[in-house]
């Protein structure tokens, strides 16, 4: 089962008054020492669960063993096992050291007084559930911390080490969504520890992009995550179905065969004896063995969309949206957008009629992929959730000023420096940062912080970003000047949602 037994003492923080001194926080298991960063305190590479190695591979996260002395917490821990090039090749930055012992998190805080009760923001990185890490520069929590948040970023198990349902493991009684269990364990750690870093365990916002956004929705849907967070932001979650348990077992059997084991007959001991780096060579964009959330166990009893359709998700405020070129991710997964359009056959003419300004098949493929997998999915989730909790939808269309001659839309993930405020520190725009870029980042990062602080992204002017609901489909288009858009893309989204309902992908 999940991490249990982490009964912690009353929040205690010990640090020197001199801002250059190393801050120290005492946890139940022992003390950790971070570092000063201007007006902020950083604690990086904090273990939130025992190393998932040896017999703990493919087991739910276990408590951290107590330690003596003071452990350094001044640099992020290793990223979880993955293809070492996948993150940098797909715009996520260099993840640094990689290892199976990877269940670490990072905390950036503006102060350590336990009674500060600052809003907490927990970042869940993306990467198709096969690559990424919480400690890369584009995810730096400092800009949000300077606004007053305590920001946590998390590593979780990836690929076949994180989502694996081999029949040999079924007898051990575990849940195959090990990466999702890691996220839940990290949220439990936040509940039990974040007051020691000046945070309010009663005001936790989870946010993430792509697979991280899908993780946010999975946590809304998971019975095991109830009470561990209070708001969420899902940036470009995708409408790709989760894997039924039976299908996941077939996939895991193929993984075993690819590792030169005896497929379904491989034992748990055989699987745990495989070197961890062998799994990195299996995982990555474009590989058929890439995992997804597995449906049918305790962490995720039903598909995410089914849970929302049944009204069984956590009834908590939600911001959800996507970018104007999220379809660019199709290329990373080896999909040729032009070929995608050709496969439409006779339906190609009808689809093209929905995009009268789009000329090439390649561009039509990207826009169709964006709207089917991202825009329509976000609208459907918002429609379902809005009857249970405040819901806001956005469409991110701001292209950095220095990139406007090279791109016409915002690629998948390119909004992150603007929502986290890291565009000056991540070297990820591909062009010099302008005053206009900074203005959009300032405005958008503040809205994300306002949701965490107050429960609404527009605490002073609700009309600046109206809620989306079943009576009126409305979103905020984030651009040079943000614009409220009622019935945004209504015709084409109605067509796609209707078609996906008929196919059973979006419910009835």
Summarize pLDDT for 51-87 with one digit per residue, the tens: 999 999 999 999 999 999 999 999 999 999 999 888 8
Residue 64 lies in a domain: no
46 phi and psi, to 5 degrees?
-85, 125
296 — alpha (psi -120 to 50), left (phi > 0) or beta?
A: left
Residues 111-157 pLDDT 10s: 999 899 999 999 999 999 999 999 999 999 999 999 999 999 999 99
Q: How far apart are CA 70 and CA 73, in angstroms?
A: 9
Burial readout 162-191 (b: 16 or more C-beta within 10 A, e: otherwise): bbbbbbbbeeeebbbbbbbbbbbbbbbbbb
Please state, for a pLDDT cut of 70, what percent of the chain lies above it. Answer: 93
Residue 126 lies in a domain: yes
Answer yes or no: is pLDDT of 400 > 70: yes
Q: What are 342's two structure tokens?
A: 């050709």
Q: What are 16's two structure tokens?
A: 């020197």
Residue 412 lies in a domain: yes
Q: Under a CB-based contact definition with an 8 Å cutoff, are residues 357 and 301 in contact? A: no
Instruction: Tally the domains of the chain.
Output: 1
Residue 20 lies in a domain: no
Residue 72 lies in a domain: no
pTM for this prediction: 0.93
Q: Determine what percent of the chain falls in helix, strand and coil, rounding each to the nearest 5.
A: 35, 15, 50
Residues 401-432 pLDDT 10s: 999 999 889 999 999 999 999 999 887 888 89
Residue 215 lies in a domain: yes
Residue 34 lies in a domain: no
| Structural domain boundaries, residue 167 | 106-331+371-490
CATH of the domain at 460: 3.40.50.1820
Residue 9 lies in a domain: no
Residues 457-495 pLDDT 10s: 999 898 999 999 998 899 999 999 999 999 999 999 998
- Considering the chain, what is the average pLDDT of its residues? 90
Q: How far apart are CA 168 and CA 321, in angstroms?
A: 39
Answer yes or no: is pLDDT of 13 > 50: no
Q: Under a CB-based contact definition with an 8 Å cutoff, are residues 423 and 417 in contact? A: yes
What does the pLDDT read at residue 343?
Answer: 78
């Amino acid at each position: 089962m999940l991490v249990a037994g982490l009964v912690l003492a009353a929040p205690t923080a010990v640090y020197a008054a001199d801002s250059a001194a190393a801050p120290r926080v005492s946890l139940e298991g022992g003390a950790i020492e971070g570092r000063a960063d201007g007006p902020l305190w950083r604690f990086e590479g904090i273990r939130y669960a025992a190393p998932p190695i040896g017999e703990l591979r493919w087991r739910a996260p276990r408590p951290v063993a107590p330690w003596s002395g003071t452990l350094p917490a001044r640099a992020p821990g290793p990223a979880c096992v993955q293809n070492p090039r996948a993150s940098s090749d797909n715009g996520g930055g260099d993840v640094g050291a990689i290892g199976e012992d990877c269940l670490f998190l990072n905390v950036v805080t503006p102060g350590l007084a336990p009674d500060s009760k600052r809003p907490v923001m927990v970042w869940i990185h993306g990467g198709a559930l096969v690559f990424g890490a919480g400690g890369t520069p584009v995810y730096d929590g400092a800009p949000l911390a300077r606004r007053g948040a305590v920001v946590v970023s998390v590593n979780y198990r990836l690929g076949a080490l994180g989502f694996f349902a081999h029949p040999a493991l079924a007898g051990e009684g575990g849940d195959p969504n090990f990466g999702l269990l890691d996220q839940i364990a990290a949220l439990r750690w936040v509940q039990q520890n974040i007051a020691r870093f000046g945070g309010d365990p009663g005001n936790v916002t989870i946010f993430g992009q792509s697979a991280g956004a899908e993780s946010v929705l999975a946590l809304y849907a998971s019975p095991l995550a109830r009470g561990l967070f209070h708001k969420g932001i899902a940036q470009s979650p995708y409408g790709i179905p989760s894997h039924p348990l039976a299908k996941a077992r077939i996939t895991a059997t193929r993984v075993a065969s690819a590792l030169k084991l005896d497929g379904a007959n491989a034992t748990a001991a055989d699987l745990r004896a495989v070197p961890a780096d062998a799994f990195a060579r299996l995982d990555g964009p474009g590989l058929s063995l890439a995992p997804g959330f597995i449906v049918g166990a305790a962490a995720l009893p039903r598909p995410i969309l089914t849970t929302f359709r049944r009204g069984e998700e956590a009834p908590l405020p939600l911001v959800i949206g996507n970018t104007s070129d999220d379809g660019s991710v199709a290329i990373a997964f080896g999909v040729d957008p032009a070929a995608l359009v050709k496969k439409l056959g006779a339906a190609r003419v009808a689809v093209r009629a929905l995009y009268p300004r789009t000329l090439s098949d390649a561009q039509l493929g990207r826009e169709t992929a964006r709207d089917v997998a991202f825009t329509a999915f976000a609208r459907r989730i918002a429609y379902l959730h809005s009857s249970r909790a405040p819901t806001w939808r956005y469409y991110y269309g701001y292209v950095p000023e220095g990139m406007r001659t090279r791109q016409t839309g915002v690629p998948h993930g390119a909004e992150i420096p603007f929502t986290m405020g890291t565009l000056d520190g991540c070297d990820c725009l591909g062009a010099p940062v302008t005053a206009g870029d900074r203005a959009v980042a300032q405005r958008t990062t503040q809205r994300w912080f306002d949701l965490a602080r107050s429960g609404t992204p527009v605490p002073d002017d609700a009309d600046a970003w109206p809620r989306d609901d079943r009576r009126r489909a409305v979103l905020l288009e984030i651009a040079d000047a943000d614009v409220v858009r009622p019935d945004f893309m209504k015709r084409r989204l109605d067509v796609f949602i209707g078609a996906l309902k008929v196919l059973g992908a979006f419910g009835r």
